[in-house]
Amino acid sequence: MSHVYPQSIYGQPSYGVPVPGFSAQRATPASYQQHYFQPPPPPQPQQQAAPPQPLFHSDPNSFRRDFTSRLSNLTINSRVHIQDLSMMAQDHPHFSSIVAQSLDHHIRQVPPWMKLPGFYLLDAISKNVFEPYASVFSRIVTSLFMDAYFQVDSSTRNKMEEMLLTWRTAGPEHSPLFGPETQDRLQTSVWGDQSFATKNQVLSELQFTLGQMERALQANPRDRTPEGHIHVLNQLRRLVERGVSQPELRQILEQLRTLARSALPPPVVRPPPPTPRPVAAPYYNQHPPFPPQAHAPPPRPYSHPPPLSFNSIPQAVDVAPPQAPVPALLPSNLESLMASLVKSGVLSVPGTSTPTAQGTSTPEVAPPLALSEREDPSAVKDMNTREYRNFILSEPIALTTSDITRARPRIVELLYERQTSQCKQCGIRFADTKLGKKRLEDHLDMHFRQNSKVDQGRGHSRSWFTSLENWIHDASINEKGKGPAHSLSLTSTKVDNAKREEELRAQFVVIPPGAEAQSVSCPICKETLQSEFLEDEEEWVWRNAVKKDDKIYHATCHAEATTSTSSIAARLRTEKQQGSRSATPEVYPMTGIQSTTLRSTPPPSLLRKSGSRSPPQLISPGSKVAGVKRKVDHHDSDPLEDGTGTPPFKKLALSSTPIPSS
Amino acid sequence: MSTSTDTPISEPKRWDLEPESEYRFELDPGTSLAIKLVEGQAEVFGFELAEAKVYLFGSECKAAVYTWKGCAIQVTGVPSTEYVSNETPMRIYANLHIALEQMRVRALRQVRGSPVPSQEANARSDPPRVLVVGPEHSGKTTICKILTNYAVRAGQGWTPFLVNVDPGEGGWAAPGTVSVAPVKGPIPTASSANPLGTAATNAPMSLASNTLLPLAYWYGHPQTKRNPLLMDRMTRNLGENMNDRFELDPEGRASGLIVDTPSSYASGPSANDHRHKLINACIDAFKINVIVVVGHEKLNVEMQRSYGANLMVVKIPKSGGVVELDSSYRDRVTNYQLHAYFYGQVIKPPAGITNGSLGGESLTDLVLSPSSTVINFNDIIIYRIGSDAMAPSDALPVGARRTVSEMQPVVVDPASPGSRLLNAVLALLSPQASDESERYDEEVLDLTLVGFLIITNIDITTKKMTVLAPNRGSFTGRTAVVGSFEWQEQ
């Protein structure tokens, strides 16, 4: 891969096909043409290609309406739209908060593939108009950016990362566009703790700087400086890909940033825009509006990767800093870094094999999580866990009195905004993801079971506390369909249960002649047995029924009852042998049914082992379900049981069926 | 607004709360309050309120409805005090929570063996095990509750363990206990009777996400100084069992634990070193790695000095909403707690409110039916730990030895006139080892609490007594321990 900016704006060819040569003809400092693709090339130069002049609004409501409706058309990466909206924002700085709100809302509610243009607009407004927008946006940009970042696909993520990098120097005096704190927070969220350098981040930045250099080279083919840098950068990239130590990553990153900063065109060099808008802030002139090109020297046309390939790179590492006018302030630090790396043996000159010696003390840099975990198809749960982990770890809060007093938490996102679906009954929240929805469903099922149980009698009483044995072995699979503890690995149990239930339900008892009109109820659940006419048998039957001792039971109820009694017996036996303290099972006077089911406890070693390096799904909430459930729970609480009208007791039977001993 | 009658009829009042402010209220005995979230988002000590649901508060509850982003609530009833405050330490508590979450996610990552990014390679992966210490009225319990609720609400399936070693508090059962419960759903705040949520009942709500299954030991007295040795032992017992559980459930362990302590751990005569011993017992037993000091500079310095080298010690401010409580309030709360243990929560909603719920539970579910039975004296064995009238050891004359050690279980004969068993709160213990050879003298000290019994009548002539039990389960042949609590139905 040799160019940062792929042909397509989003990596979706349908939107990104540039008109050949279109932007190449423009020599304006604005570089929209490189990213804000505009299907029909406008007749005028880009930046001043006066987009439809918006009306001047004095009424906030009409402005909001107008802006929002135009914004809603921003479905693809259209430069016209972005410019139009950007101008509109520029003309109405006093409505900056409306712009921010509308944009925030727009980006949040559009589907992931449509979010990028919104960010490009945000980027363009901030860079072109800066005041007051950058400061207004800085309040929302962190959460907006990160929320979107976690939703979009990887190519869009790359785009966003590139954009983020341009923000670092897009403010006045090359300061971060949204302020150092926001920048830092965003970088931390994307690449992890900024006091460390991750391989991932270094690679992104390398790529970014490479792109800059390549454009510089194209802009001025006679300038040999960028060429030299490109060469070194490519070497560095391969080095980093192979793995270097943490201090070196850090060093490389610093050098890269210095390089990127110095590569910024000095303001004076910039030709002033032909028709400057009166309201334009100074940065408008200094910095080309579009993100990835923001630091690029006089722009080069889009989609022209420099004629550069790896095998054409000379073997030599030393590159003489050339004397070129643009960019004028080139550092030789990168070369010296390279030189020192080579010297220390970290970097072998291209051609030789793997690096050796001390520099490779951590050659196994963990692969970027974003890639490694996402590829695992069964990692839905882990995605959630991983994202959450990144989110949490990106909060710059150390456990010290000063930090917790000072930092401003993103707690609202954490507790509210990340979890948008809420149970109306008890207020518990769930993420608006597939898994979250599933959990909410399970949770509602639980309420349903609970509520349907309420009518079944009065006279509740306080239970005894659970015994020590039970308490220790309760591996918490209780209710609520929430939490990683019981998500995926319950599936197999569920399938078994479902199958079992299916079988039980298929059982029937032929109704004795003359009894059709009678209503017969199951002695266990007291519900009336449903009768139906069976075509095959040409008989009226009771479905889901079984006949024992001249009584008709629901097959499911009966199975449950037998399972639980046998489990009491089994449990008593076991415990007697073990001389356990908890020999007396807790008896519930109100029902007389022992609801505790016996499960053999899996050997601790098994569980401990699973805690080590095995894939997460083996740790197995499932094995806990199957293995350790000894809770003195009065009702079934398996969150993954489907709630289709089965009375709770039957469910209990099903959820507890796979008992090895019975 | 209304003249003082028994049931003041009050119009619902609407309160609009700014972001990061809270509506605080205090209730007098016998009054109740209904709060409905009209719009926005709100939480009571970390428990999020569902919109349009009516939440009831009673039993002298003192609480606050906090909002991060602003909300409007509708309040029915007449609290003795109500006001809105914009100054809360919630941000700091939230920061603390996030710092604890960082520890949790690292711990879970290690448990699952997920790859550790290089920059994290040296980060510690201990789950947070937090000891919250602070003087009286600093809001320790509330902080524990907020931290626990936030963890539960993260949507990550955390099950933090909430530990209560404040025997004056009552935790999930009644005062006098040292207990722990894994918390799976947010803990509501509705009444002073259940400061840490409700222990399981066989009512349908025991399915509910916020039902707690505690493990408890019976210490038997409200004050830790009464028998520090026993406190020490109970604390260590609790810790040992938790470790056993964690070994079986490594992922559960990653959620960490939060320990609420009595104020006696934070201050006391310097000559009396029992509090240091007890703090040490906690640190050892629960493998504490974070000490949170609530609003007490001197204590913070002391903790830094004593433990700062090995543990993280952070100080957080106390909330201005904390209410100073007197001892008669404590007595009333004990009474509420025992009543709630046997009979459930009975809160009469304010006039005009019919659809209230307590922490999301419908009222009818909260009425419990205990059982009163007559048993023979010898149906249960009752112990008292230590001698009858125990003075602290340092109050004994120089050279004097106790005739009965502080830790010795002494059998109490209901027939003896000085038994003081009438109206006493008995702690029913789990059964002793069935194998005689496994038994030992002080085994009683190591048996967990199963439930509470109250002796409501003693008939010496027939050698029978009437016992109030929470349910109809049999306890014949079991062991019970009596402490210094008494309770009479009122």
The CATH number assigned to the domain holding B457 equals: 2.40.30.330
CATH number, domain containing residue B179:
3.40.50.300
pLDDT at A350 over 60: no
Which of the listed residues B291, B316, B341 is the one where a domain comes to its end? B316
Do residue A584 and residue B431 have CB atoms under 8 angstroms apart? yes
Instruction: Say whether A520 sits in a helix, a strand or coil.
Output: coil
Q: How far is B305 from chain A (nearest CA, A)?
A: 15
Please state, rounded to an integer, the average pLDDT across all residues of chain A: 60
In this predicted structure, what is the pLDDT of residue B143? 92
pLDDT at A38 over 50: no
Domain shared by B95 and B148, yes or no: yes
Encode A538-568: b = buried (16+ Cβ within 10 Å), e = exposed. eebbbbbbbeeeeebbbbbbbbbbebbeebb
Tell me whether residue B324 is in a domain.
no
Confirm or reject contact between A588 and chain B (CB < 8 A). Answer: yes
Domain shared by B66 and B103, yes or no: no
Domain shared by B165 and B247, yes or no: yes
Residue B130 pLDDT level (bands cut at 50, 70, 90): very high
* Chain A residues close to B448, C-beta within 8 Å: 465, 467-468, 471
Handedness of CA A189, A193, A194, A199 (dihedral sign): negative
Q: How far is A143 from chain B (nearest CA, A)?
A: 15
In this predicted structure, what is the pLDDT of residue B204? 52
Number of residues assigned to chain A: 662
Best-predicted range by mean pLDDT among A145-154, B111-120, B146-155? Answer: B146-155
In this predicted structure, what is the pLDDT of residue B361? 60
In this predicted structure, what is the pLDDT of residue A480? 33
Mean pLDDT of the region B413-422: 82
pLDDT at A357 over 60: no
Domain shared by B168 and B216, yes or no: yes
In this predicted structure, what is the pLDDT of residue A639? 37
Q: Of A299, A327, A208, nearest to A256 (Cα)?
A: A208
Q: How far is A262 from chain B (nearest CA, A)?
A: 27
Q: For the segment A483-511, what is each residue's pLDDT rounded down to a tens digit? A: 333 322 333 344 455 556 666 777 777 77
Specify which residues B81 forms β-bridges with. Answer: B26
Tell me whether residue B242 is in a domain.
yes
Mean pLDDT of the region B373-393: 76
Tell me whether residue B325 is in a domain.
no
Surface-to-core class of residue A63, CB atoms within 10 Å of its CB (0-12 exposed, 13-18 middle, 19+ buried):
buried
Domain shared by B182 and B280, yes or no: yes
The shortest CB-CB distance from A409 to any of B98, B241, B360 is to B98
The shortest CB-CB distance from B156 to any of A462, A484, A611 is to A484
Confirm or reject contact between B185 and chain A (CB < 8 A). Answer: yes
Instruction: Check the annotation: does B138 bind a ligand.
Output: yes
**C-alpha to C-alpha distance for A40 and A646, rounded to whole angstroms:** 62
Tell me whether residue B302 is in a domain.
yes
* Chain A residues close to B118, C-beta within 8 Å: 196, 198-199, 246, 249, 362, 365-366
Among the listed ranges A49-58, A244-253, B249-258, B393-402, which one has the minimum average pLDDT value? A49-58
In this predicted structure, what is the pLDDT of residue A463? 79
pLDDT at B456 over 70: yes
Q: How far is A394 from chain B (nearest CA, A)?
A: 9
Q: Which residues, 6 or more positions from A374, have their beta carbon under 8 angstroms from its beta carbon? A: A154, A383
pLDDT at A200 over 60: yes
Query: Where do we find the tokens 């350098």?
Result: A197
Domain shared by B265 and B391, yes or no: no
**C-alpha to C-alpha distance for A629 and B312, rounded to whole angstroms:** 36
pLDDT at B363 over 50: yes
- Which residues, numbered 391 to 430 in chain A, qualify as contacts with chain B under a Cβ-Cβ cut-off of 8 Å? 392-393, 395, 397-401, 403-405, 407-412, 414-416, 418-419, 422-430
Instruction: Check the annotation: does B145 bind a ligand.
Output: no
pLDDT at B125 over 90: no
CA closest to A365 among chain B residues: B118
Domain shared by B289 and B300, yes or no: yes
Higher pLDDT, A620 or B42: B42
Confirm or reject contact between B207 and chain A (CB < 8 A). Answer: yes
Among the listed ranges A229-233, B66-70, B214-218, B229-233, which one has the minimum average pLDDT value? A229-233
The shortest CB-CB distance from B202 to any of A429, A460, A608 is to A460
pLDDT at A642 over 50: no
Residue A408 pLDDT level (bands cut at 50, 70, 90): confident
Mean pLDDT of the region A23-32: 39
Instruction: Check the annotation: does B36 bind a ligand.
Output: no
In this predicted structure, what is the pLDDT of residue A340? 59
Domain shared by B127 and B75, yes or no: no
Q: For the segment A68-126, what is each residue's pLDDT rounded down to a tens digit? A: 888 888 877 777 788 888 888 888 888 888 888 888 888 888 888 888 888 888 888 88
Do residue A426 and residue B115 have CB atoms under 8 angstroms apart? no
In this predicted structure, what is the pLDDT of residue A537? 65
In this predicted structure, what is the pLDDT of residue A635? 39
The answer to whether B423 and B455 have CB atoms below 8 angstroms apart is yes
Residue B146 pLDDT level (bands cut at 50, 70, 90): very high
In this predicted structure, what is the pLDDT of residue A113? 80
Confirm or reject contact between A633 and chain B (CB < 8 A). Answer: yes
Higher pLDDT, A555 or B375: B375
**C-alpha to C-alpha distance for B71 and A251, rounded to whole angstroms:** 48
Do residue B448 and residue A367 have CB atoms under 8 angstroms apart? no
Instruction: Say whether B21 sits in a helix, a strand or coil.
Output: strand
Q: Count structural domains, chain B.
A: 3
Instruction: Check the annotation: does B276 bind a ligand.
Output: no
Among the listed ranges A283-292, A335-344, B310-319, B368-377, which one has the minimum average pLDDT value? A283-292
Domain that holds residue B209: 90-113+122-316
Instruction: Say whether B409 sits in a helix, a strand or coil.
Output: strand
The answer to whether B61 and B189 have CB atoms below 8 angstroms apart is yes
* Chain B residues close to A430, C-beta within 8 Å: 155
Tell me whether residue B307 is in a domain.
yes
Residue A261 pLDDT level (bands cut at 50, 70, 90): low
* Chain A residues close to B182, C-beta within 8 Å: 474, 476
Among the listed ranges A461-465, B118-122, B290-294, B407-411, which one has the minimum average pLDDT value? B118-122
In this predicted structure, what is the pLDDT of residue A318? 38
Please state, rounded to an integer, the average pLDDT across all residues of chain B: 82
- Which residues, numbered 47 to 106 in chain A, qualify as contacts with chain B under a Cβ-Cβ cut-off of 8 Å? none
Residue A319 pLDDT level (bands cut at 50, 70, 90): very low
- Which residues, numbered 198 to 257 in chain A, qualify as contacts with chain B under a Cβ-Cβ cut-off of 8 Å? 198-199, 246, 249
Specify which residues B410 forms β-bridges with. Answer: B384
In this predicted structure, what is the pLDDT of residue B22? 92
pLDDT at B403 over 70: no
Q: Residue A301 phi/psi, 5° resolution?
A: -65, 155
* Chain A residues close to B113, C-beta within 8 Å: 611-616
Mean pLDDT of the region B250-267: 86
CA distances from B435 to A570, A580, B428 (A): 20, 9, 20
In this predicted structure, what is the pLDDT of residue A575? 40
Residue A393 pLDDT level (bands cut at 50, 70, 90): confident
In this predicted structure, what is the pLDDT of residue A283? 32
Tell me whether residue B241 is in a domain.
yes
Tell me whether residue B43 is in a domain.
yes
In this predicted structure, what is the pLDDT of residue B385? 86
Best-predicted range by mean pLDDT among A7-21, B94-108, B385-399? Answer: B94-108
Mean pLDDT of the region A153-162: 81
Mean pLDDT of the region A449-476: 70
Q: Which residues, 6 or more positions from A347, have their beta carbon under 8 angstroms from its beta carbon? A: A235, A239, A317, A338, A341, A355, A359
pLDDT at B289 over 80: yes
Instruction: Check the annotation: does B76 bind a ligand.
Output: no
Q: How far is B269 from chain A (nearest CA, A)?
A: 27
Which of the listed residues B316, B351, B380 is the one where a domain comes to its end? B316
Q: Which of A150, A245, A390, A399 to mutate to test the interface with B (most CBs of B within 10 A)?
A: A399
pLDDT at A297 over 60: no
- Which residues, numbered 376 to 435 in chain B, qualify as contacts with chain A under a Cβ-Cβ cut-off of 8 Å? 428, 430-435
pLDDT at A612 over 50: no
Q: For the segment A213-236, what is each residue's pLDDT rounded down to a tens digit? A: 776 666 666 666 666 677 777 777
Confirm or reject contact between A464 and chain B (CB < 8 A). Answer: yes
CA closest to A364 among chain B residues: B118
Do residue B213 and residue A474 have CB atoms under 8 angstroms apart? yes
Structure tokens at A612: 């080590």
Instruction: Check the annotation: does B185 bind a ligand.
Output: no
**C-alpha to C-alpha distance for A554 and A222, rounded to whole angstroms:** 88
In this predicted structure, what is the pLDDT of residue A218? 67
In this predicted structure, what is the pLDDT of residue A534? 72
Domain shared by B25 and B145, yes or no: no
CATH number, domain containing residue B32:
2.60.120.1030
* Chain B residues close to A246, C-beta within 8 Å: 118-119, 121
In this predicted structure, what is the pLDDT of residue B257? 92
Tell me whether residue B340 is in a domain.
no
In this predicted structure, what is the pLDDT of residue A383? 55
**C-alpha to C-alpha distance for A24 and A304, rounded to whole angstroms:** 9
pLDDT at A321 over 50: no
pLDDT at A379 over 50: no
Percentage, residues of chain A above pLDDT 90: 0
**Amino acid in the structure at residue A357:** A
Side-chain-side CA neighbours of residue B40 (13 Å): 23
| Strand pairing class (B129-133; B161-164) | unpaired
Domain shared by B95 and B45, yes or no: no
Domain shared by B185 and B241, yes or no: yes
Which of the listed residues B288, B316, B344 is the one where a domain comes to its end? B316
Domain shared by B393 and B280, yes or no: no
